[in-house]
Amino acid sequence: MRLCYKPLDILVDFDEHPIVEMVVEDPDYFAKTLFDLYEAFDAAEGQWVASIDAKPATLDKNLYTINDYYFMLNPSKSRTVSNALFKQVVACAQNADHIERTQELLALVEQYGLGLVEELGFDFEVSTDESFDVSALIKALGLRIFLNTENLVARTIEFCDVLQALTGINHFVLVNVAALMGVDNLAALIREMGYHDHRALLLSSVQAPCSVPQRIIVSEDLAVL
Residue 158: CATH number of its domain? 3.40.50.11940
Q: Is residue 223 part of a domain?
A: no
Q: pLDDT exceeding 70 applies to what percent of the chain?
A: 96
The verdict on 60 and 155 lying in the same domain is: yes
Give the confidence band of 2 by pLDDT, cuts at 50, 70, 90. very high
Confirm whether 213 is domain-assigned.
yes
Q: What pLDDT, on a 0 to 100 scale, did the predictor assign at position 219?
A: 95
CA-CA distance, 152 to 163, in Å (whole number)? 16
pLDDT digits (tens, 9 = 90+) for 193-214: 999 999 999 999 999 889 999 9
Identify the domain boundary among 122, 141, 160: 141
Domain that holds residue 136: 81-141
How is the chain split among helix, strand and coil, in percent rounded to 5? 45, 20, 35
Which one is predicted more confidently, 29 or 60?
A: 29
Residue 166 has pLDDT above 80, yes or no: yes
Last residue of a domain, one of 114, 141, 168: 141
Mark which of 125, 141, 157 sits at the end of a domain: 141
Query: 98-106: long-range contacts at Cβ-Cβ below 8 A with a sequence spacing of 24 or more?
Result: 102/134, 105/134, 105/137, 106/132, 106/133, 106/134, 106/137
- Sequence-ordered alpha helix ranges (H) in 120-224: 134-141, 152-167, 183-195
- How do residues 127-154 score in pLDDT, each as one tens digit? 777 777 888 888 888 887 777 777 889 8
Q: Are residues 184 and 97 in the same domain?
A: no
User: What total number of domains does the chain contain?
Assistant: 2
**CB neighbours of 186 closer than 8 A, spacing ≥ 6?**
177, 178, 208, 209, 210
